Amino acid sequence: LQTMNTISLSVYCITLYKRFKNKDLENLSSFDHGKDFLSLVDQLFLSWKQDVELSLYNDEQAKKVSRLRRIGDACWEYHRHTTFIDGIIESGEYGTQEDIIEIKTGRSKYVKKKEDASLRPFYFMFYHKPNTEECFLLVERIGQNGIVTVLEKALREFLSNALSEEYTLVLRPYLMPKVLKLNMESVGGAKRVILKGIKNNAVSGTAKQQMFAGCATEVSFVAPKNNYIPGFETLFEKLKKEKDKGETCKIDAYECQDVAFEVSFNGKTRMLSVANITNMGMNVDVTNRVKYEGATGYPTYASLNEQAHQVLSYLDS
C-alpha cells in the first residue's frame, strides 16, 4: 500500500547561543549550569503527556493542534535514547467546516465542524552527538505538510521558561552533500531555464517602457518538444560556484541574480533554483522505501525510524 503523497524526511540543524554572542555556540551536552539539550526536549514532551485524557499542544494563531501518538493506556509512540529522541506526532488544523462523504456513493457521512481537527501522523527525530554544538532535527513531510513549525514554536516557548538566561535558538535547513549528489543524479534534463533578476539594460524594447518601469525582467529558454536542454549539471555546478562566491550568475550575455531550472524529479516537475539549492540537499524522498499501515495508509514508525538512521549516516559523508 502506498500513499498518493510524497513522503520525505527533511533535515534541520539546531544551535544555541547566549544573546548577542552568536559566534560562541553552546556545547549542547552541558550549558546553562549543566543542562543537556536532549533532556530539555524530553521534558518538553513530558509536559505534552501530563494530561491523562488528552494532551494537546494548541497553536491558536495557526489553528493547529498536535500531540504524541498514544499506543496504549499509558504509552506513547515516543522513545528516548542516549543520542536521540524520536516518535510520532499527530497534527492537524481546525477552524473550518467540511462535509465528509463516502467516495463510492457521494453520500454525506458526517460534517467536520470548525472545532474538529483531522490528525495526521508525522515522524520526528532529535539527534545529538555528545559534546557537540549541533543537534539535528529530522521531520517527516507528507506532500507539502509537516510539523517543523509546530516543533520550533513549542521548543522556543519551553526553553524561554526552562533556561536561567536568555538564549537564542537557531533552527536552519541543513544541506548534506551526499543527499544533494544523490538527488541531482536522479534529476532528468532541464525542460526550461529561467534567468531571474536580469538587469533591464540587458533587454531592449518593452522592459524600457514606462509601464514596466521598476519591474523585474526574466528570460526563459524552453527546450524543443520531447527534448531537454543539454549540459544541465555542468551549467548548474558553474552557476552554484559563482553564487557561493557571492557573484551574480552569468549566462552568455545575460547577468542575473538567480537561475531556475524546470526539471523532472522522482517523476514530478519541479523548479530547481541555484539560490535555493539547500532544499535539494536537505530533503530525502522515502516514498518507496517505507512500509505502509493497511488501516491508515500512512508509513509505519519502524520503517520511518529505519530511514531516519539511513539519513543520519549521510551527515558525516
User: Tens digit of pLDDT for each residue in 125-147?
Assistant: 999 999 999 999 999 999 889 99
Q: What's the pLDDT tens digit per position in 206-245? A: 545 667 766 778 888 998 988 888 777 788 888 888 888 8
DSSP conformation letters of 21-70: -TTSB--TTSBTTTB-HHHHHHHHHHHHH-SSS---EEETTTTEEEEEPE
The residue among 139, 158, 169 whose CA lies nearest residue 40 is 158
Helix axes 148-162, 37-49, angle to 10 degrees: 100
Query: What contacts 276, CB < 8 A, 6 or more positions away?
Result: none
39/278: higher pLDDT: 39
Return the pLDDT at 160. Answer: 93
317/20: higher pLDDT: 20
Q: Is residue 299 scored above 80 in pLDDT?
A: yes
pLDDT band for position 1 (cuts 50, 70, 90): very low
Return the pLDDT at 200. Answer: 59
Q: Is residue 28 scored above 70 in pLDDT?
A: yes
Q: Is residue 52 scored above 70 in pLDDT?
A: no
Helix (H, G, I), strand (E, B) or coil at 74: coil
**Strands annotated E in the chain:** 7-18, 57-59, 64-68, 70-72, 75-76, 78-80, 84-93, 98-101, 108-112, 120-128, 135-142, 167-173, 192-198, 217-222, 249-251, 254-256, 258-265, 268-273, 283-285
Separation of alpha carbons 159 and 60, rounded Å: 19
